[in-house]
Structure 1
Amino acid sequence: MTLIYGHRGAKGEAPENTLTGFQECLKHGVRRCELDLHLSMDGELMVIHDPTLKRTTDRRGKVVEHTAAELVTYDARKGGPGWIKPCPIPTLEELFEKCDFEHWQLEVKSASRTRAVTTVLAIREMAQRHGLLDKVTITSSSREVLKAALDLVPDVSRGLVAEYAWLDPLKVAQSYGCEILALNWTLCTPERLQRAQRQGLHVSVWTVNEPALMRRLADFGVDSLITDFPGLASATLENC
């Protein structure tokens, strides 16, 4: 059976990476999610995709230039599906407290060595405090992040985010002891999928929004789909 992950909550249905979006995902019965993390100025794990505030809020500047207390007051509805009420940038802590997901793919964007270390340690500490160590996977396309995770928090599951085929993603995933391969759907050939699964990888394919593509990838045998439309994906795969 192909599992479903809500991409940044339910990016096609509600403002991305907001509590509202993750609650929408859960309303559809989809209990797996993917989200993005950046550190605030004071080292809090903030749920936002870009390193800057411009695209999703009415603010300017970098996430790291603002404190968590400031960031949680900023409305992140901009550029997404229309939404009546403000949707603030959440902390990861708030989502852990308010959303009951079976599994979380926590994507850490490219980071310096120091920030990679700080981020993976903060994720482990928070996941342990909330009893979620077995329900989170730190994912990244950054070798710096994956190396920090492997070296410092080896008991937390790791996943490689692979967008391009210029490096063999299976070799990279293996070298960092990854359990998940989050693969751009355009790279998901049946041959690569089978090789990855033989290697013991869970293959999670993104971002899959068309019903015909959902069905095709499910027929290939992907382990999970990451989608902006978890409700649509749920309805589509139920009918497969």
Structure 2
Amino acid sequence: MTLIYGHRGAKGEAPENTLASFQRCLEHDVRRCELDLHLSRDGELMVIHDPTLKRTTRHRGRVAQHDATELVQFDARGGGPGWPHPCPIPRLAELFEQCPFEHWQLEVKSASRTRAARSVLAIKALVERYGLQDKVCVTSSSREVLRALNRLTPELSCGLIAEYAWLDPLKIARHYNCDLLALNWTLCTPERLLKAQKQGLHVSVWTVNEPALMRRLADFGADSIITDFPGLARKTLVQP
């Protein structure tokens, strides 16, 4: 059966990467999620997609220029559909405490070697604190991040995010000892999917929002899809 991951929670229904969005995902009984991480200036893992604040909070500057205590004051409703209440940028620790997901894909954005190392070590510490070692896969399209995961946290499951076809994603995933391949849906041919699975990779396809595409990828044998509409995906793919 093809599993369902909520993309940034339930991005199509609530402001992305906010507690409200992840709670909405859980309300649909979708118990797997994907989210994005950046480090605050004081080294806390903050759940936000962009390195800058403007799109989702209307504030200026970069996430890395603010301490976590400042960032949690910013209303992140700009990143999605209308919502009646303020939605602060959450700390990852807050989600670990409040959202009982069965599995998390934690995407670390492109980073310098130093920030990549700080990020993966911070994830390791938090995952250990909450006992989630078997429920987390750290993903990235950044070679620096994948290198840091291999070097500093080999005990954590890791995954490659592949968006473009000009590099062989299977070769890169093998090179960095990945367990998961997060594949842009435009790259997910039956041939590539089967080859990846034979290589031992869990193939998670993103971002899949149309029921017909959901069904097609499930028919191909995709291990999971990542969707902005987890409720719709559940109705489409899960028999009552």
TM-score, normalised via structure 2 length? 0.99
Runs (4+) off by over 3 Å: none
Which residue matches 1:135? 135
- Map Cα deviations across residues 128-155 of structure 1 (whole Å, 9 max, x no partner): 0000011111100001000100110000
Rounded Cα–Cα distance in structure 1 between residues aligned with 2:79 and 2:153: 35
Rounded Cα–Cα distance in structure 2 between residues aligned with 1:45 and 1:74: 15
Mapped contact 2:45–2:119 kept (Cα < 8 A)? yes
Which residue matches 1:92? 92
Which residue matches 1:196? 196
- Amino acid across the alignment from 2:137: T
- Kindly state the Cα deviation for residue 68 of structure 1 after the two structures are TM-superposed: 0.1
Rounded Cα–Cα distance in structure 1 between residues aligned with 2:102 and 2:80: 26
Which residue matches 1:108? 108
Which residue matches 1:160? 160
Q: RMSD between aligned alpha carbons?
A: 0.9
Aligned with 1:203: secondary structure? strand
- Map Cα deviations across residues 155-176 of structure 1 (whole Å, 9 max, x no partner): 0000000000111000000000
Unmatched tracts of structure 1, length 5 or more: none
- Kindly state the Cα deviation for residue 79 of structure 1 after the two structures are TM-superposed: 4.0
- Kindly state the Cα deviation for residue 58 of structure 1 after the two structures are TM-superposed: 2.0
- Kindly state the Cα deviation for residue 105 of structure 1 after the two structures are TM-superposed: 0.3
Mapped contact 2:16–2:79 kept (Cα < 8 A)? no
- Amino acid across the alignment from 1:50: D
Unmatched tracts of structure 2, length 5 or more: none
Rounded Cα–Cα distance in structure 2 between residues aligned with 1:142 and 1:128: 23
Which residue matches 1:169? 169
Which residue matches 1:182? 182
Rounded Cα–Cα distance in structure 1 between residues aligned with 2:112 and 2:238: 42
Rounded Cα–Cα distance in structure 1 between residues aligned with 2:115 and 2:174: 23
- Map Cα deviations across residues 15-73 of structure 1 (whole Å, 9 max, x no partner): 00000000000000000000000000101000000000000002111000111000001
Rounded Cα–Cα distance in structure 2 between residues aligned with 1:121 and 1:79: 28
Q: Does 1:11 align with 2:11?
A: yes
- Kindly state the Cα deviation for residue 5 of structure 1 after the two structures are TM-superposed: 0.1
What percent identity do the matched residue pairs reach? 75
Rounded Cα–Cα distance in structure 2 between residues aligned with 1:238 and 1:42: 42
Aligned with 1:21: secondary structure? helix
Distance 1:55 1:22, change over 3 A: same
- Map Cα deviations across residues 79-126 of structure 1 (whole Å, 9 max, x no partner): 411100000000000000000000000000000000000000000110
- Amino acid across the alignment from 2:230: P
- Kindly state the Cα deviation for residue 239 of structure 1 after the two structures are TM-superposed: 4.6
- Map Cα deviations across residues 204-238 of structure 1 (whole Å, 9 max, x no partner): 00000000000000000000000000000000002
